[in-house]
Structure 1
Amino acid sequence: MNPKRKQELLDQYAKIEIDYGVIQLKNKVNGKIYIAAVPNLKDRWSFYQQNLDNGSIQNPELLADWRKYGVDNFEFSELYRKDATDVLNMRHTLKELKKEWLTKLQPFGDHGYNQPMKEL
């Protein structure tokens, strides 16, 4: 790819509005929650619905409850939203946000579908 075209594509990408943040899936039957920090909030609910429906989620307990209770018994919400103006630090920020919300909500064991984060 020539440098001019590459720069055009980078400029176009920089103009795309991307919001990142923390989401929650809540099982309305048993109250369990799942917390995730995501790099792009756009269409995230449909992403989770599709991946849970086809079994692509790597969380056996969440997947089992999804299959048992169905989509109507789960609620999606955004806990935190931020525009991705600082894309270079977004990965670190997402890790910190997830840690913060996991500490705050404690979605482990009987309360949720997450596993405690390992300290790095």
Structure 2
Amino acid sequence: MTSATPHRTRADHKRQYREQPRRAGVYLIRNTVSGKVLLGSSMNLHGPLNRHRFMLDIGGHPNRALQEDWRRLGPDAFEFAIADIVTPQDEEAGPHEDELWLLEQVWIERTSPFGERGYNLHPRIRDA
């Protein structure tokens, strides 16, 4: 019996990815054992969480404390989540950087991701 849905090619997947609307927002990686978080933001949330997970999996994450906890506790001790998405005032223009900056400030205050409570090393949390 054959499937009615044809197999999608790699090119189909790439095209679908490129056509998805870009969403700006704040994400976090939470250590479910200690409660520590790494807070980040991006004008394009499609990639950062996958990039962080990949870097942790290969042992090459630049945040040494996060990498050490990942190695010691394993991936099941971490949760990756989009915390909030910018809702642009002008839907057609899309999100503006100042709207994302305001959202970042709310989440920095809410999570205090520095020192004992987090993995963030500086107040700038936006991905380049």
Per the normalisation by structure 1, the TM-score is 0.69
The whole-number CA distance in structure 1 between the counterparts of 2:61 and 2:99 is 23
CA contact (8 A) 2:86 2:95 kept: no
Distance 1:93 1:71, change over 3 A: same
Percent identity, aligned pairs only, is 29
In structure 1, the residue matched to 2:96 is: 89
Q: Which string of whole-angstrom CA distances, capped at 9 and with x for unpartnered residues, describes residues 47-93 of structure 1?
A: 22102222443211111111111111100121111367545833x43
- On the 8 A contact 1:18/1:83 being kept in 2, the answer is no
Give unmatched runs, 5+ long, in structure 1.
Answer: 1-14
Structure 2 unaligned segments of length 5 or more: list them. 1-18
Aligned to 1:101: 107
- Per the alignment, residue 46 of structure 1 pairs with 50
What SS does the corresponding residue of 2:66 show, helix, strand or coil?
A: helix
The answer as to whether partners of 2:36 and 2:116 remain within 8 angstroms in 1 is: yes
> Greater strand share, 1 or 2?
1
Once residues 109 and 87 of structure 2 are traced to their aligned partners in structure 1, the CA distance between those partners, rounded to angstroms, is 23
Query: RMSD of the alignment, in Å?
Result: 2.7
Structure 2 CA distance, aligned partners of 1:110 and 1:99? Answer: 19
TM-score normalised according to structure 2 size: 0.66
Which of 106, 111, 114 is the aligned partner of 2:120?
Answer: 114
Of Structure 1 and Structure 2, which has the larger fraction of its residues in helix?
1
Matched residue count: 104
